[in-house]
Amino acid sequence: MSQPPADALDVRVAMLTDVGRSRTQNQDAIGRLTPTDPDVLHRWGEIVVLADGVGGLPAGDLASQYAVSTILSSYYDEEYTDDDPARRLARAVAEANHVVYQEGQAQTPPSKMATTVVAAVIRGRELVIASVGDSPAFLLRDGVARQLTRAHTVENVAREADAEVPDELRHKLVRALGTQPRVQVDVVSGRVRDGDYVVLCSDGLTRYVTPEEIVAHVTEQEIEGAVAALIALANERGGADNISVIVLALRDESLLHAPDPMQFWGHPRRAERATRPDRPRPSTRSAEQAQDAAALGEAWQGAWRFVRSNAVVAGGSMAALLLAFVLVMLALARLGGDETPPTPTLLPPTQHTATAAAAVLLTEEANLAATSAEIARLTLTPPTATYTPSPVPTSGPMLESGTWFRVLDGEPIPAYAEPSVEAEAATPLQADANYRVTRVNHDAPRGPWYQVVDNLGLEMRWVSGPSLHQRVLAIDAGGNPLPEGLQPPDVPPPEEYLPPTATSALPPTITPAQTSATGAPTTATVPAPTATPNITYGVENWTAGVRVQAKLALDLCSAPNVHACDLGQVAAGETGVIGEGPVASGEHWWWEVDFADGRKGWVAQVLLGLAP
C-alpha cells in the first residue's frame, strides 16, 4: 500500500486526555505531528499517537511520554529511506520500545517501566495502525464501529489456546512497550474514504463506553465536542482510570466543490440566477425571430425538465457530452496531420449510463473487499536485527532471560537435558527452591522452554513453560517477591502440553554388582549427597577484580560467617574489589572484598552492589 496520495483526504483531528476521577496522576500521553513540508506530507502522511503507561510499574507517565515523542520523531527520520508507511511505523514503535526499555534499565536499581501504544498514520487514502498492548483503534464507517486492533492480554491468548483463565488475570497484559529488549508490533492497513472516522483511545474509555456509544457521539456532533462528551461519560460512570481519546474525521474536499449539473447545459448556477440583477439588453430581432426564439427556449426548458426528472437520461446525456468533448479534443490534437481519426462506435445513452453505473458499483464493491482484506491483522518484523520480535508464549508464565523465580508448593517439576519431553531427564525443579532463567527457546514444540540454573549454580536444565503454570513466583536477587505488577503473565496450557509429573528429586546411585558372603550378586545403594545450603537468593556472576560498594554501613568479617565480623566497620558507599568468592555459608553468599584503604574481609552478598 504505497501508492502516492494524489487523492488525499482532508484530516481533522480532535484529541484530549483526562486524569479521571480516581487517579492522582495522568499516565496517558497523546501526540500529533502534521508535516509543514508538502513533500514530507506527500511521502509519509501525518501521524497521531496515544500511549497508556502501565499501572503498577514505576514511571508509567515517563514511559508513555517517551513512547509518544520517540514515535513522532522516529517515524519522520530521514535516515530511514523506506517510504512505505507500514514499515516506517513498525520501526518507529520498535525504536520507542528500545528507548523505554533502556530507560528502565538505567534506573537505580534497574526496573521495568512500560506502556501500551496505538498509533495511526494517514497518507492520502491509506490508513496504517500500529499497536502494542490493549489501547484500541476503531474505524467508524456507515454507522458501525470496527475494531482494528487486538488486545494483547492473557484473555485473548488463552482464547486462542482454548483455555480458561481466572477473572483476575483476564486483562493482564502479555505484551507492552518497554518490558523486553525487543517487541512484536501489530500493524494493520487499509483504504479509507470520505465520511470515515478513526478513533484511538485508552482502556479508560472502553471500560465504560461501548463502541456503539462512540459511534453515536462522534457522528452526531463536531469531533471536538464528541471527544469531550466521551470523556465526561466515562467519568460519570466511574472514571477509575486515565482517559484519552483521539478522533480523526476524514473528508474528501473535492466532493464539497462538485460542479452544478446546470453548468453542463450552458446555464448559470441556480444561486447565481436567483441573485443576478436583470439587465436590459437591446433587441435587434424581429417579432417573428423573437417568437421562434421563445418557442425554442420553451422547448429547451421542457427538455431540461424531462432530463431532471429522469436520472438515467440525465446520466446518459452527461456521459455523451463528456465523450463528445474527448472526441473534439482528439480531433484538435490531430489537426494538420494526414491521418483520418477513427470514428468511434457510440453506445446509446441509456446503455452507456447503465454500464457506467455498473462500473461504479463494481469499483465500490472491490474497494470494500480490499478494505476488508487489508484490515486483516498483519504482523511486521521491524526491519533491523536490533528489533527482532519475540513471540508471545504459547502458555505458562512469560519469563525472560535473567529472571529469578521461586517454585511454589507442589510436586517436583520435570526437567530435561534438552528442550524436549523426549530428551534425557534431568533433576526436577523442587518446591521452595530458587532458579534463574539463563536461556529462552520459543521454537521448540510445546513451549516455550526455559533453561534454568539453581541458585547454587550446580546444574543447568530445561523446563517447559506449560509445566510452570501457577508454580512460579518471580523474585529479585535478594530473594524477595516482586510486586504484583512485575509478576509474569501466566497463560493456562492445553492438557496435552503438560509433561508427566516427576516422582523424585534425585534418583539413587547404583554401584557395580558385588558378591555377598553367600556368593549371590548384590547391589549397594549409595545415598544421595547431602544437600547444599538452600540460600534464598541467587548468586551474582562476579569475578576477581569486579568493583563493588557497600549498600549500607556494615561490619567486616574475618570469615564467611555472621559470628566472625570483627574487622571493624565499613561505611555505606565505600568501594572495593572482589578478591575471592562466592562461598555459601549459612543463609548467604559471601565475597572477600579488598577495600581502598587496605582492609580485606568477607561481606554477605546482600550488602553489596556493583560500584558505579
pLDDT tens track for 100-135: 988 888 877 777 789 999 999 999 999 999 999 999
> Sign of dihedral through CA atoms 300, 302, 305, 306?
negative
The answer on pLDDT for 533 being more than 90 is no
Residue 490: predicted pLDDT: 77
Reduced to 3 states (helix: H, G, I; strand: E, B; else coil), residue 275 is: helix
Residue 321: predicted pLDDT: 64
Phi and psi at residue 368, to the nearest 5°: -65, -40
Same domain for 68 and 156: yes
- The DSSP-derived string for 299-315 is HHHHHHHHHHH-HHHHH
Q: Give the chain's length.
A: 612
Residue 296 lies in a domain: no
The answer on pLDDT for 185 being more than 80 is yes
Nearest to 131 by CA among 207, 192, 48: 48
Nearest to 65 by CA among 76, 49, 78: 49
Residue 277 lies in a domain: no
Amino acid occupying residue 454: D
* C-beta separation of 54 from 177 below 8 A: no
Same domain for 412 and 369: no
Residue 247: predicted pLDDT: 98
Chain segment 367-395, per-residue pLDDT in tens: 333 333 333 333 323 333 233 333 334 57
Residue 291 lies in a domain: no
Q: How far apart are CA 226 and CA 221, in angstroms?
A: 6
Nearest to 591 by CA among 553, 552, 549: 549
Out of 323, 339, 373, a domain closes at 373
Residue 287 lies in a domain: no
Q: How far apart are CA 459 and CA 532, in angstroms?
A: 13
Q: How far apart are CA 71 and CA 96, in angstroms?
A: 6
Reduced to 3 states (helix: H, G, I; strand: E, B; else coil), residue 421 is: coil
- The CA-atom distances, in angstroms, between 276 and each of 262, 267, 511 are 16, 13, 116
Chain segment 577-589, per-residue pLDDT in tens: 999 888 887 777 8
The answer on pLDDT for 334 being more than 90 is no
Same domain for 561 and 520: no
Q: 46-53 and 28-33 as β-strands: parallel, antiparallel, unpaired?
A: antiparallel
Same domain for 570 and 451: no
Least confident interval from 17-21, 298-302, 329-333, 350-354: 350-354
Q: How far apart are CA 571 and CA 114, in angstroms?
A: 35
Stronger pLDDT, 334 or 399, i.e. the higher one:
399
Residue 317: predicted pLDDT: 62
Q: Mark 62-94 as b/e (b = at least 16 C-beta within 10 Å).
A: bbbbbbbbbbbebbbeeebeeebbbbbbbbbbb
pLDDT > 90 in the chain, percent? 36
Q: How far apart are CA 246 and CA 223, in angstroms?
A: 9
* C-beta separation of 437 from 398 below 8 A: no
Instruction: Give Rg (Cα) of the chain.
Output: 37
Nearest to 378 by CA among 74, 84, 90: 90
Q: How far apart are CA 203 and CA 55, in angstroms?
A: 12
Residue 354 lies in a domain: yes
Same domain for 408 and 363: no
Amino acid occupying residue 548: V
Least confident interval from 17-21, 217-221, 289-293, 361-365: 361-365
Nearest to 387 by CA among 90, 592, 603: 90
Residue where the block lists cell 478513526:
198
Amino acid occupying residue 245: V
The answer on pLDDT for 314 being more than 80 is no
Same domain for 240 and 120: yes
Residue 429: predicted pLDDT: 94
Mean pLDDT of the residues in the chain: 74
Question: SS3 sequence, 223-262?
Answer: HHHHHHHHHHHHHHCCCCCCEEEEEEEEECHHHHHCCCHH
The answer on pLDDT for 431 being more than 80 is yes
Phi and psi at residue 568, to the nearest 5°: 100, 180
The answer on pLDDT for 51 being more than 70 is yes
C-alpha cell at 350: 441509456
Same domain for 401 and 362: no
Out of 513, 538, 563, a domain closes at 538
Q: Region 469-490: what's the mean pLDDT?
A: 79
Stronger pLDDT, 178 or 589, i.e. the higher one:
178
Reduced to 3 states (helix: H, G, I; strand: E, B; else coil), residue 521 is: strand
Please list the residues that pair with 12 across neighbouring strands.
Answer: 249
Residue 462: predicted pLDDT: 94
Chain segment 481-530, per-residue pLDDT in tens: 877 667 777 777 766 566 666 544 333 333 333 333 444 333 333 333 33
Residue 310: predicted pLDDT: 58
Q: How far apart are CA 50 and CA 32, in angstroms?
A: 9
Q: Region 339-347: what's the mean pLDDT?
A: 35
Residue 82: predicted pLDDT: 86
Residue 133: predicted pLDDT: 92
Stronger pLDDT, 478 or 454, i.e. the higher one:
454
Choose the most confident range, by mean pLDDT, from 276-285, 414-423, 440-449, 587-596: 414-423
Chain segment 149-167, per-residue pLDDT in tens: 988 888 777 666 566 666 6
**How many domains are there within the chain?**
4
Q: What is the DSSP letter of 391?
A: P
C-alpha cell at 130: 500500529
Give the CATH number for residue 556.
2.30.30.40
Residue 244: predicted pLDDT: 97
Same domain for 603 and 489: no
* C-beta separation of 28 from 271 below 8 A: no
* C-beta separation of 488 from 399 below 8 A: yes
Same domain for 74 and 21: yes
Residue 108: predicted pLDDT: 72
Residue 297: predicted pLDDT: 56
Same domain for 521 and 551: no
Amino acid occupying residue 447: G
Out of 488, 503, 538, a domain closes at 538
Q: Region 252-274: what's the mean pLDDT?
A: 43
Give the CATH number for residue 59.
3.60.40.10
The answer on pLDDT for 226 being more than 80 is yes
Residue 352: predicted pLDDT: 33
Residue 39: predicted pLDDT: 92
* C-beta separation of 584 from 532 below 8 A: yes
The answer on pLDDT for 593 being more than 70 is yes
Residue 3 lies in a domain: no
Where residue 356 falls among pLDDT bands split at 50, 70, 90?
very low
Residue 419 lies in a domain: yes
Same domain for 551 and 522: no
Reduced to 3 states (helix: H, G, I; strand: E, B; else coil), residue 271 is: helix
Where residue 540 falls among pLDDT bands split at 50, 70, 90?
confident
Q: How far apart are CA 199 and CA 146, in angstroms?
A: 10
Same domain for 346 and 458: no
Residue 211 belongs to domain spanning: 10-255
Residue 559 lies in a domain: yes
